[in-house]
Structure 1
Amino acid sequence: MIRSLNDLLDYAINASDGVIGSVSDVYLDDAGWTVRYLVVDTGTWLPGRKVLLPASALDAPDTDSRQFPVRLTRKQVEDSPGTDTARPVNRQEEEALAGYFGVEPYWLSGSLIGPAELPTVPAEPPADAARRGDPHLRSGREITGYAIAATDGDIGTVSDLLIDDTDWRVRYLLVDTGTWLPGRKVVFAPGWVESIDWATGAVRVGLTRDRVRNSPVPESVPEVNRAYEEQLHSHYLRDPYWM
């Protein structure tokens, strides 16, 4: 199911023996546009601490109660490697997380991080020297607000990310067209992006404003269904991801 990032924020994370906290952000890699970690604010349970959880440790969300069950205990979360989410996550920290959660690092396998056998005791972090922050990990919340430009002018700003919770790939950017097309939102796939200036938050898509203006509008924003996706890809003359 395709879900809105803005809707997923503040979902409760429910361990096997109690609530851990709530989703405050996601980290995705800009190479595969795939969510690698959820940033969880532990609230009053572990005051002042945020933890990173691999996305595939989560079970299907309960949309009625706005909760994600997670295949971990509170003790496993409490003992997980500490990460300062106020600065870029470095590769050494990611290696420590992968070792602790018993998973193959995604940058080696090319796949979504997935649990093998969850640990009962913390693993020792790698002994090598600290490395720079991974330049490919991006905050989902930071991307919202990025400016979008077509080949012939500005379009608007990213207002949301639409994420497929089966494999945690970002399928679409939801764009608010602002004063250009008042009250309108349009949808682009990340694969249609030609360039991103991460320093300035400027995104360029290889489309004309006229093509965007005439694009199909989803019946319900930010939800999209397969019928709308087919219309969208047909309009932009792009092969759909499911093919």
Structure 2
Amino acid sequence: MQPYLFAPWVWRDPTWLSAGDAGFDRVRDSAGAGERPDTGLIGYHVEATDGGIGKVDEDNAEVPADCLMVDTGPWIFGRKVVLPVGTVRRVDHEERKVYVDRTKDQIKDAPEYDPDDTDRDAHRQRTGDYYTESYRAVPPML
């Protein structure tokens, strides 16, 4: 059996973000480096494999376009977490939900996002390494 290849920074199915979808809005990221198709997901509920974990946060533009900033609300003490877009299993625009293929605990144990940390590359590396290892240990249910 081949191991599951996980690409943390790549949408599995970019058609989820097509211009025809309700709520879709292409804008430039704050650095002007590229389009931000994910901004149409702000406010969407995020569902782990074992239940809801929060919503895509309005500060989503603070992270690279290949991540989603999720506000967990009171679930893990109001913490914001960064999910690589590769964790997204599917997007339901009618229900305004983003489904990820990790559990609440896997997300809770991910490296914490610190808006004051100036070393974004190090956080990105830690996050990518964490999720890549989580897929190596527990491949998604396909």
| 1:117 and 2:126 aligned | no
- In structure 2, distance between residues paired with 1:37 and 1:6: 11
Distance 2:43 2:70 in 1: 9
Higher RCO, 1 vs 2 (CA within 8 Å, ≥6 residues apart)? 2
Q: Which has the higher helix share?
A: 2
Q: Does 1:62 align with 2:80?
A: no
Q: Taking structure 1 as reference, are residues 49 and 10 closer, same or farther at Cα in structure 2, changes over 3 Å only? A: same
Helix, strand or coil: the match of 1:102?
Answer: helix
Q: Is the alpha carbon distance of 1:6 and 1:82 closer, same or farther for their aligned partners in structure 2, counting shifts above 3 Å?
A: closer
From 40, 51, 58, the counterpart of 2:81: 51
**Structure 1: runs of 5+ lacking an equivalent:** 29-34, 104-115, 121-243
Distance 1:23 1:71, change over 3 A: same
**TM-score under structure 2 normalisation?**
0.63
Question: Higher strand proportion, which one?
Answer: 1
CA contact (8 A) 1:83 1:89 kept: no
Q: Alpha carbons of 1:17 and 1:39: their partners in 2 closer, same or farther (altered >3 Å)?
A: same
TM-score between both structures, scaled by the size of structure 1:
0.38
Q: Which amino acid aligns with 2:109?
A: D
4+ aligned runs moved over 6 Å, structure 1: none
TM-superposed deviation, 1:95: 1.4
Question: Which runs of 5 or more structure 2 residues have no equivalent in the other structure?
Answer: 1-17, 26-37
- Partners of 1:57 and 1:17 in 2: how far apart? 14
Count matched residues: 102
Aligned pair in 2 of structure 1 residues 53, 96: CA closer, same or farther (>3 Å)?
Answer: same
> After the TM superposition, which of the residue ranges 1-10 and 54-63 deviates more from structure 2?
1-10
Larger Rg, first or second structure (1 or 2): 1
Q: Report the counterpart of residue 16 of structure 1 in structure 2.
A: 49
Aligned-partner Cα distance in 2 for 1:100–1:43: 22
Asked if the contact 1:50/1:85 (under 8 Å) is kept, the reply is: no
Go from structure 1 to structure 2 and tell me whether the alpha carbon gap of 1:87 and 1:10 turns closer, same or farther (over 3 Å shift): farther
